[in-house]
Amino acid sequence: MRVWINGECRLLNPETTIHQLLVAHELQRRRVAVELNEEIVPRSRHDEVRISDGDRIEIVHAIGGG
């Protein structure tokens, strides 16, 4: 299936979850926020939320500072 991740078109396997996407990009242990079709997906739901063909995903890294 075809999806957009941070503005780039990518091909994913059907039934891919947010968690699987983060693992594939080695981001599962990092502090990131994930937006799926303009809605934030809570970290507690990353295992259950499945990505669909045509979805738009934004992954944002949390950066500390002060």
Whole-model pTM over 0.75: yes
pLDDT digits (tens, 9 = 90+) for 8-47: 999 999 999 999 999 999 998 888 999 999 999 999 999 9
Q: Is 21 exposed, middle or buried (0-12, 13-18, 19+ CB in 10 A)?
A: buried
Domains delineated in the chain: 2-61 (3.10.20.30)
Residue 4: helix, strand or coil by DSSP? strand
Q: How far apart, in whole angstroms, are the C-alpha atoms of residue 56 and residue 28?
A: 19
